[in-house]
A and B are shown apart, each in its own frame.
Chain A
Amino acid sequence: MNNNVNPSVLAMRDTGPSPEAEITRDIVKRGLIAAPVLIGASWLIWGDAGAWSSAYGLGLVLCNFMIAAGLVATTARISYALMMAATLFGYILRLGVVALAVMLVRNEPWVDLVALGLTLIVTHLGLLFWEMRFISASLAFPGLRPAVVTPTTVSPDSFSQESASA
């Protein structure tokens, strides 16, 4: 057990731009690009119910990403400890919301559960892999990165100095 970790890390926060929001914006953009192809493929396989189910599933996945990013981005500005707590409880909360959203519509005539379930998995993983390829490339070749993210981490010491000078 080494003690190189800053003991006041739980009070640290990040006031810079949020990379999660940027990632989610990209994912939503790509999801909207892929939506016609996905919905069309579902329509060909499962008919109208498949198309509606795929659209609903895609909406659920994109909302899930946006809520996750919003939670992390908002709480990181307050403190890293809150960010960790919000994300762990947010995981349970979002899982419950997705389950509730599916349970509410499962008996509707326009829902095909197989299409909906497959869309949830394929869209979630597909969009992540698509985004990961971009992120990997921009981390390996920083010149490819569209905008430089420069986060500002505020430690409790600097925060108290700011308060004292104010």
Chain B
Amino acid sequence: MEALATIARIAAEAGDAVVDPATAKNTAAAASAGYAYGLAAIGPGIGIGIIFGKAIESMARQPEAAGMVRTTMFLGVAFTEALALIGFVAFILLKFA
């Protein structure tokens, strides 16, 4: 019960505190950066899954074309990863630069 009262008192003090605009901006930038990085990692993850699924299907249908399939698959995966890297760079620039 005492812990609950402490939490309530801290929350009340925080609610009364005046937030500095620069602090608010930094907090918003940090939150946006986190969302940007997280969202940017989802798309490439789905993309890489699709690329690999299709590549395995292709190699199963035509094993003799496996070399060509793997070549294009590797390049496709690397291009898809570039999206995640762009998200990561947006994250570090928003958060730390």
Does A45 count as interface, using CB distance less than 8 angstroms?
A: no
How distant is the Cα of A108 from the Cα of B44 in the complex, in angstroms?
Answer: 30
Known: A84-B56, A121-B85. A19 touches B96 (CB 8 A): no
Residue of A nearest to B70 (CB): A19
Beta-carbon contact of A117 and B82 below 8 Å: no
How distant is the Cα of A72 from the Cα of B71 in the complex, in angstroms?
Answer: 11
Chain A contacts with B in 112-144, Cβ cutoff 8 A = 113-114, 116-118, 120-121, 124-125, 128, 131-132, 135, 139
List of A residues within 8 angstroms of B88 by Cβ: 95, 98-99, 102, 120
Tell me which of B70, B71, B78 contacts A128 (CB under 8 A). Answer: B78
Beta-carbon contact of B48 and A121 below 8 Å: no
Beta-carbon contact of B70 and A151 below 8 Å: yes
Does A23 count as interface, using CB distance less than 8 angstroms?
A: yes
How distant is the Cα of A68 from the Cα of B70 in the complex, in angstroms?
Answer: 13
List of A residues within 8 angstroms of B66 by Cβ: 14, 16, 151, 153
Beta-carbon contact of B71 and A23 below 8 Å: yes
Residue of B nearest to A22 (CB): B71
Interface size on B, as a range, is 35 or more
Known: A95-B84, A120-B89. A20 touches B59 (CB 8 A): no
Does B14 count as interface, using CB distance less than 8 angstroms?
A: no
Residue of B nearest to A114 (CB): B97
Tell me which of A18, A72, A120, A149 contacts B85 (CB under 8 A). Answer: A120
Interface of A is mostly: helix
How distant is the Cα of A124 from the Cα of B79 in the complex, in angstroms?
Answer: 8
Does B8 count as interface, using CB distance less than 8 angstroms?
A: no
Does B39 count as interface, using CB distance less than 8 angstroms?
A: no
Beta-carbon contact of B60 and A87 below 8 Å: no
Tell me which of B63, B64, B67, B70 contacts A12 (CB under 8 A). Answer: B63
Residue of A nearest to B44 (CB): A91
Please give 5 more A-B residue pairs, beta carbons under 8 A apart, in addition to A125-B79, A128-B78, A128-B82: A19-B71, A88-B48, A91-B44, A124-B78, A153-B66
Query: Interface on A for B, CB 8 Å cutoff?
Result: 4-6, 9, 12, 14, 16, 18-20, 23, 65, 68-69, 72, 76, 80, 83-84, 87-88, 91-92, 94-95, 98-99, 102, 106, 113-114, 116-118, 120-121, 124-125, 128, 131-132, 135, 139, 149-151, 153, 155
**A/B interface sample: 5 pairs, CB < 8 A:** A23-B71, A88-B49, A113-B92, A139-B71, A153-B66
